[in-house]
Amino acid sequence: MLAEQRREKILELIRENGNVRVNYLSKLFSVSEPTIRQDLDKIEATGEIARDHGGAYLKNMQVSVSSLSLEHRENMDLKQKIGKKAAEFVRPGTSIIMDSGTTVTELAGALKGSKDLRIITNSLNIALILGAEPNMEVHMTGGEFKAPTLSLTGEKAAAFFGNMHAQQLFLATAGISISGGLTYPGFSDIPVKQAMIDSAEEVYLLADSTKINKVAFAALKSLDKIDYLITDDGISDDDIQSFSQFGIKVIIA
């Protein structure tokens, strides 16, 4: 991996987790700790992160958490359309798993006023959006708090789904491709996503077209478990055909 590619992956990881440690990055990318420190110095120069002893952290993380605002706010017009379209597939009287992230949060907003739903989520902000709804039952996982996505992650979050069954899962991803499957910036979310998939009858992947053919660092694969991809009209005809051949029905918002 070239240095510039490595720094891009490191920044994605910081945006996702909020902070990183030098020794962890050194092992993850199989380079020396001085090399990682140089990487972090260059990334810090962009103004998005700040260095501390042994690592670095996202500069605006405290403000985001206190205001319950998510980090990944790009392409929000597409994500709003996808969230509204996904709401059309939620059936009254069902149990649904809702992943964390901006696109699934848009689905949560579109579900306000719905009746007789049981929501299972690892997302703090989604629990707050829907927890006050009088006709909804909201359950949250345990786990380690991840500030930029306002979510709970790790093995404890994954274990919550061990005896869980839901009719539908609305899943997020950082990237999706035929060759790479589902990919994410870091490894901590992988067991959670897999446990969600294993607990649901139908899996709806919510991803705007900028994430198609994008490959992040940690791979989940599991394309064969995705029933529906809800995306926007930026997806190409070739990609629609490729996903269809893989058994995934593409829905355009």
HEC assignment per residue over 214-227: CCCCEEEECHHHCC
Burial of 48 from C-beta contacts in 10 A (0-12 / 13-18 / 19+): middle
Widest Cα–Cα separation across the chain: 55
| Segment 62-78, tens digit of pLDDT | 766 665 566 666 788 99
Report which secondary-structure segment, H or E, holds 121.
Answer: strand 117-121
| Neighbour tally for 70: CB within 10 Å | 17
Q: Is the pLDDT of residue 41 over 80?
A: yes
Nearest Cα residue to 183 out of 174, 170, 171, 194: 174
Distance CA 206, CA 168 (A): 13
Q: How many CA atoms lie within 13 A of 99 on its CB side?
A: 29
Average pLDDT, the chain: 90
Indicate left, alpha or beta for 30 from its phi (over 0: left) and psi (-120 to 50: alpha).
left
Report which secondary-structure segment, H or E, holds 4.
Answer: helix 3-17
In the chain, the amino acid numbered 155 is: E
Q: Which of 48-62, 83-97, 105-119, 228-242 has the lowest mean pLDDT?
A: 48-62
- Residue 120: per-residue pLDDT: 97
C-alpha dihedral sign at 128, 130, 136, 139: negative
In three-state secondary structure terms, 152 is: strand
Q: Is the pLDDT of residue 88 over 90?
A: yes
Report which secondary-structure segment, H or E, holds 150.
Answer: none
| Segment 155-166, tens digit of pLDDT | 999 999 998 899
pTM of the model: 0.86
Backbone dihedral angles phi then psi of residue 116, each to the nearest 5 degrees = 55, 55
Domains for the chain: give ranges and CATH numbers.
3-59 (1.10.10.10), 76-252 (3.40.50.1360)
